[in-house]
Amino acid sequence: MTQLNASEIVVLTSIQQSGGISRKALAEKTGLSQASITKITHRLGRDDYIREGERVGTGMGRKEVLLYPNPGKFKFLGVDIGGHRLRIALADYRYELIRVEQYLMEELERKDDVLRELADKLRSFLEACGETSVDAIGVGVTGIVDIGRQTILNIPNLDRWNDVNIVGALSDRFGCPVYLEESGRTMAFAEKLAGKAKDESDFIVVHVAYGVVAGIYTSGRPLRGAGNVGGLLGHITADEKGTRCRCGNYGCLENIVTYPMLEGEYRRRGGGAASLAEAYGINDKIALDVLIEAGKAIGIALSNVVNLFNPQTIYLGGPVFDRFPIVFEEVRRTVLLRANRFATVAMALDRTTFGDRQGLLGALTLAGTSFVASLET
């Protein structure tokens, strides 16, 4: 693989993240001189990393050529390991998804060797794509990750993923670099590198599905904490009298607001519709109560996070927000009511860019950016 110097990587990364950028804008963005940009983009073009696109007018001056990453230069495999679902995607260097598959984690849990089963699934997925190899694999996990040892320490909802050396196993099997990260953080990477948070230095991504995960960017960097556990929003205590969570604690937020918990609560209160979604569709009182309480619980948790981190934007995503817009509205109402008004005055609440596929895009952007950074001489 061709090596690149530090400036070439900065320029290539800026082009990748821009969605089309002129040489002049690149100089402004990177702080490099026009002459350096001309030299670097010439080299990147010659080695096929970037392509020239259309010319665009910039007012009085001459027209500028926009530069794009060459989508075919690299292929990345993204693996999103959730508590409930495994999702796999192949993407090009513009993070366009070429193929996506999903499986239930239960299916892997039944096997003796979960890593071998996962690797077999990835191998047949690649065969179905007509590929024999990829440039890098990114893995996002809804659990605790030891970043130094590149090992999954624990996935709270699953039994067979304790102290699993996934990076070693997959890099042996596929002969390419493998990058591992907790999935709240990968979802924040996706928002920062390919989504709406490109120009933001302080923001939070929250995803609610079968679990609750969050990624926090503070002063332009992802929050990790001393042991890479920072941002574990799903397992903060939301109800001290609540039931025991799979993590060992009681009354975790994740035990109240996830999709199966909401469905279960609706049943416990005597809800009779076929599903919570159906009940919500006909404005069923029990369903609305359950969902408003969930929105309130997420909103209270986030109000505390807002006071601690003072984000520019909170991005909310995942099936709970997709299916029940009332939860989003209740989160917004509660955060604006409870968080400090000086922290919320200029703060926005928005939906995540990739919705249900945020984790997949997260694993792919993790693979892409880590791989390109590794090309440095």
41 vs 183 by CB, closer to Zn ion: 183
Tell me: does residue 252 bind Zn ion (CB under 5 A).
Answer: yes
CB of 117 to Zn ion, least distance (A): 26
CB 304, min distance to Zn ion, A: 16
Long-range (24+ apart) CB contacts under 8 A made by 121-129 are 121/86, 121/88, 122/77, 122/79, 122/88, 122/170, 122/173, 122/174, 123/173, 125/77, 125/88, 125/90, 125/99, 125/101, 126/77, 126/90, 128/99, 128/101, 129/90, 129/98, 129/99
236 binds Zn ion (CB under 5 A): no
Is 237 a residue that touches Zn ion (CB under 5 A)? no
For 104-109, which contacts have Cβ atoms below 8 Å and span 24 or more sequence positions?
105/81, 105/157, 105/158, 108/160, 109/158, 109/159, 109/160
Residues in the interface with Zn ion (CB under 5 A) total 5
Query: Measured between alpha carbons, how far is 75 from 68 in angstroms, rounded to an integer?
Result: 16
Taking the C-alpha atoms of residue 324 and residue 241, their distance in angstroms, rounded to an integer, is 26
Which of 199, 321, 196, 201 has its CA nearest to residue 257?
A: 321
Residue range at the interface with Zn ion (CB under 5 A); choices 86-94, 231-239, 289-297, 312-320: 231-239
Nearer to Zn ion among residue 73 and residue 235 (C-beta): 235
Per CB under 5 A, does 245 bind Zn ion? yes
From the list 113, 84, 198, 182, the residue with the least C-alpha distance to 141 is 182
Nearest to 83 by CA among 170, 191, 192, 208: 208
Q: Is 235 in the site for Zn ion (CB under 5 A)?
A: yes
Q: Give the shortest CB-156-to-Zn ion separation in angstroms.
A: 6
What is the x/- site pattern for Zn ion, positions 189-208, by CB under 5 A? --------------------
Could you tell me the smallest distance in angstroms from the CB atom of residue 163 to Zn ion? Answer: 19
Question: Is residue 249 involved in binding Zn ion (CB under 5 A)?
Answer: yes
Query: Residue 254 CB, nearest distance to Zn ion (Å)?
Result: 5
Asked if 218 interacts with Zn ion (CB under 5 A), we say no
Q: Considering the rule CB under 5 A, would residue 36 count as an interface residue with Zn ion?
A: no
Task: Give the nearest distance from C-beta 285 to Zn ion in angstroms.
Answer: 29
Binding part of the chain for Zn ion, among 234-242, 299-307, 316-324, 337-345 by CB under 5 A, reads: 234-242
Of residues 125 through 184, those in contact with Zn ion by CB under 5 A are none
Residue 356 burial by CB count (10 A; 0-12/13-18/19+): exposed, middle or buried?
A: middle
Q: Which is nearer to Zn ion, 300 or 375 (CB)?
A: 300
The separation between the first and the last C-alpha atoms of the chain, rounded to the nearest angstrom, is 11
Structure tokens at 24: 């002049």
- Pick the closer one to Zn ion by CB: 114 or 212: 212
How far apart, in whole angstroms, are the C-alpha atoms of residue 327 and residue 60? 49
Q: What angle do CA 12, 13, 17 make, to 5 degrees?
A: 120
Please identify, using beta-carbon distances, which residue of 134 and 238 lies nearer to Zn ion: 238
Residue 274: CB minimum distance to Zn ion, A: 29
Q: Is 247 in the site for Zn ion (CB under 5 A)?
A: yes
**In terms of CB distance, is 212 or 361 closer to Zn ion?**
212
Q: Smallest distance, Å, CB 250 to Zn ion? A: 8
Token couple for 283: 């404005």
- Interface contacts to Zn ion, rule CB under 5 A: 235, 245, 247, 249, 252
